[in-house]
């Protein structure tokens, strides 16, 4: 393989791998979109404030009732002392110095399951909790719940449109890259045709090379995506459980098949096109 042909081959592999990387990264986000949606919804919480004179035993009973509810994922008991400590860390000063006694109530932080993290469900949950003894008040961010659910649907729609467009753009770019690669060998194709080689015989080495080109490009794209996953999980360890490695493995296999298929198909049509050209058309 001459240096020029080798350079053309490497350029085609790199171009194809970058396109597959973009397509694979978008696909990975789409495959894990549900997990990301669940993650953000489960960050929502309710603050359940109890009566001032509630005993520890009664507070423990309330928490037990909450833990048994189907809409509760996790609860955290916050005593008066713990609430004062968290308030002091937030304000950066001992605000209790201005009070004769701790005015903060005993509370329970309730993390909701993703299925109930929407405005209608939370409103129904609020009414249900108000019927439990010793619960004085329930507080949560209405606007945040609405914003998360609204934006999740918007992001999902935008991502779907983006992936569809990227898929077609990927096919066009890979096809153009391979066509340019075959164009540099048009005189070789014509020479083989003139000496009587059949079309299948002429196509065969190009198609075999296209398969290896697709495999090489897919492997590079897979390594890039793996590196991206490693970096993201290193910087954001809480996202470790969000990536479904089974789905990622399926995505990698699809990228491999896609790289081979698009490279093979583009090569087949490009070689066929040059086989139909006459001697004069080879120079244009």
In three-state secondary structure terms, 276 is: coil
**Final residue of a structural domain among 110, 140, 170:** 140
- In this structure, the number of other CB atoms found within 10 A of the CB of residue 177 comes to 23
Residue 267: give the domain boundaries: 3-38+148-283
Neighbours of 60 (CB within 10 A): 12
The answer to whether residues 85 and 175 belong to one domain is: no
User: Which SS3 state, helix, strand or coil, does residue 104 take?
Assistant: coil
User: Which domain-ending residue is among 89, 119, 140?
Assistant: 140
Q: In the chain, which ranges are continuous DSSP H helix?
A: 3-31, 33-41, 56-67, 80-91, 119-130, 142-183, 186-194, 199-235, 245-275
Average pLDDT in the 39-49 region? Answer: 84
Query: 243, 181, 201, 193: which is closest to 35 by C-alpha?
Result: 243
pLDDT for the residue numbered 280: 58
In a shared domain, residues 164 and 225: yes
In 3D, which of 188, 173, 194 has the Cα closest to residue 266? 173
Do 30 and 159 lie in one domain? The reply is: yes
In this structure, are 83 and 119 located in the same domain? Answer: yes
| Statement to judge: residues 17 and 50 lie in one domain | no
DSSP state, 279? T
Domain count, the chain: 2
Tens digit of each residue's pLDDT (9 = 90 or more) over 101-160: 777 788 999 998 888 888 888 888 888 888 888 888 888 887 777 777 777 777 777 777
Does the pLDDT value for residue 282 go beyond 60?
no
Of residues 75 and 87, the one with the higher pLDDT is: 75
Backbone dihedral angles phi then psi of residue 102, each to the nearest 5 degrees: -70, 115
Residue 108, strand partner residues: 48, 77
The answer on pLDDT for 1 being more than 50 is no
The CB density around residue 178, as the number of other CB atoms within 10 Å, is 27
Residues 196 and 257 occupy one common structural domain: yes
pLDDT tens for each residue of 53-66: 888 889 899 999 99
Residues 111/73, Cβ–Cβ less than 8 Å? yes
| Distance (Å, whole) CA 162 – CA 23 | 10
CB atoms within 10 A of CB 17: 25
Judge if 253 and 169 occupy the same domain. yes
CATH number for the domain spanning 95: value is: 3.30.70.3040
256/16 Cα distance (integer angstroms): 12
φ and ψ at residue 112, rounded to 5 degrees: -90, 155
pLDDT band of 164, cuts 50, 70, 90:
confident
Last residue of a domain, one of 98, 113, 140: 140
* Beta bridge mates, 47: 109, 139
What does the pLDDT look like over 212-254, one tens digit per residue?
988 998 999 999 988 888 887 777 665 555 667 788 888 899 9
């Amino acid at each position: 393989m001459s240096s020029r042909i080798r350079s053309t081959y490497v350029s085609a592999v790199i171009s194809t791998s970058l396109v597959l990387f973009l397509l694979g990264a978008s696909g990975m986000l789409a495959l894990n979109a549900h997990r990301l949606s669940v993650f953000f919804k489960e960050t929502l919480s309710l603050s359940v404030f109890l009566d001032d004179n509630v005993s520890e035993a009664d507070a423990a009973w309330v928490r037990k009732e909450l833990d048994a509810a189907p809409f509760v994922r996790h609860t955290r008991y916050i005593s008066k002392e713990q609430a004062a400590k968290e308030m002091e860390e937030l304000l950066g000063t001992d605000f209790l110095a201005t009070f004769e006694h701790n005015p903060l109530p005993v509370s329970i932080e309730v993390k909701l399951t993703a299925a109930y993290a929407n405005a209608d469900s939370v409103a129904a949950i609020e009414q249900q909790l108000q019927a439990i003894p010793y619960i004085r008040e329930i507080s949560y961010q209405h606007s945040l719940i609405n914003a998360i659910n609204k934006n999740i649907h918007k992001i999902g729609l935008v991502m779907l449109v983006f992936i569809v467009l990227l898929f077609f753009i990927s096919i066009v770019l890979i096809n153009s890259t391979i066509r340019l690669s075959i164009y540099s060998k048009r005189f070789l194709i014509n020479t083989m045709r003139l000496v009587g080689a059949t079309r299948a015989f002429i196509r065969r080495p190009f198609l075999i090379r296209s398969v290896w080109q697709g495999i090489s490009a897919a492997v590079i794209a897979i390594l890039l995506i793996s590196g991206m996953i490693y970096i993201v999980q290193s910087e954001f360890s809480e996202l470790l459980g969000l990536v479904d490695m089974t789905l990622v493995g399926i995505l990698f296999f699809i990228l491999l098949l896609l790289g081979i298929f698009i490279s093979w198909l583009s090569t087949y049509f490009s070689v066929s096109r040059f086989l139909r050209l006459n001697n004069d058309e080879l120079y244009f």
